[in-house]
């Protein structure tokens, strides 16, 4: 769908923070100088057309008990990436699964993020995935430090 200037303003207003009040769209409408109804009538199609995935909460997964996360990268034959990607995506501990370009120093092309409560749970997940897929090699990259994690404010300055 085509995003118009008003859509951009609305997305900008709600991508960083959505008000936790009875009438959140009314507050957004006030800041944009339009009616609550207009905002809702723009947000609905944005959601139906999957521009907006959802309006909701993101939890701090550390505090939610999922304190161990690891990125696992896999070297998988090009002709098998889609098939293996779909299999890996089905595993409950896999939160993200992407196919990415390789380079001369980095042969890995499938990336999975594994969120688990414990190291043991993560290792079990990796073993379960290994048993289900065809791969040449893999590597686990543990998070040593979260240097930044924030939301994106869209259409900042594009307006």
Partner 1 sequence: MDAVDKKILTLLQRGLAICEQPYLAVANEAGVSESDCLARITKLKQEGLIRRVSAFLNPQNIGYRSTLCAVHMPEEQIEAATKIINSFDEVTHNYLRDNEVYNVWFTVIAYGDEGVNKIIDEIESKLNLTVNNFSSTAFYKIKVSFNLEDIS
Binding to partner 1, residues 7-36 (CB under 8 A): 11, 14-18, 20-26, 36
| Member of 106, 119, 130, 134 binding partner 1 (CB under 8 A) | 106
- Read off φ and ψ for residue 111, nearest 5 degrees: -120, 125
Within 10 Å of residue 85's Cβ, how many Cβ atoms? 20
Smallest gap, in angstroms, from Cβ of residue 153 to partner 1? 7
CB of 25 to partner 1, least distance (A): 7
Rounded to a whole number of angstroms, the minimum distance from the CB of residue 136 to partner 1 is 16
Contact between residue 138 and residue 74 where contact means Cβ atoms under 8 Å apart: yes
Name all contacts of 75-80 with Cβ < 8 Å and 24+ positions apart. Answer: 75/107, 75/108, 75/109, 75/110, 75/135, 75/136, 75/137, 75/138, 76/109, 76/110, 76/133, 76/134, 76/135, 76/136, 77/134, 77/136, 78/109, 80/134
Sign of the alpha-carbon torsion through 28, 33, 37, 43: negative
Q: Which of 4, 5, 65, 137 binds partner 1 (CB under 8 A)?
A: 65
Residue count, binding to partner 1 (CB under 8 A): 75
103 sits near partner 1 (criterion: CB under 8 A): yes
Q: Which is nearer to partner 1, 15 or 123 (CB)?
A: 15
For partner 1, which residue of 27, 38, 99, 135 counts as binding (CB under 8 A)?
99
Considering the rule CB under 8 A, would residue 82 count as an interface residue with partner 1?
yes
Residue 98 touching partner 1 (CB under 8 A): yes
């Amino acid at each position: 769908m085509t995003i118009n200037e008003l859509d951009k303003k609305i997305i900008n207003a709600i991508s960083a923070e959505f008000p936790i009040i009875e009438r959140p769209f009314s507050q957004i409408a006030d800041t944009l100088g339009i009616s609550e109804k207009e905002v809702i009538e723009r947000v609905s199609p944005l959601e139906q057309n999957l521009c907006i995935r959802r309006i909701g909460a993101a939890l701090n997964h550390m505090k939610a008990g999922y304190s161990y996360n690891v990125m696992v990268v896999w070297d998988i034959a090009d002709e098998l990436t889609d098939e293996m990607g779909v299999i890996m995506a089905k595993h409950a501990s896999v939160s993200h699964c992407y196919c990415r370009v390789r380079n001369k120093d980095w042969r890995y092309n499938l990336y999975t993020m594994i969120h688990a409560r414990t190291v043991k749970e993560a290792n079990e997940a990796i073993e379960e995935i290994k048993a289900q897929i065809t791969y040449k090699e893999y590597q686990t990259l543990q998070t040593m430090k979260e240097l930044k994690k924030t939301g994106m404010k869209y259409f900042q300055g594009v307006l």
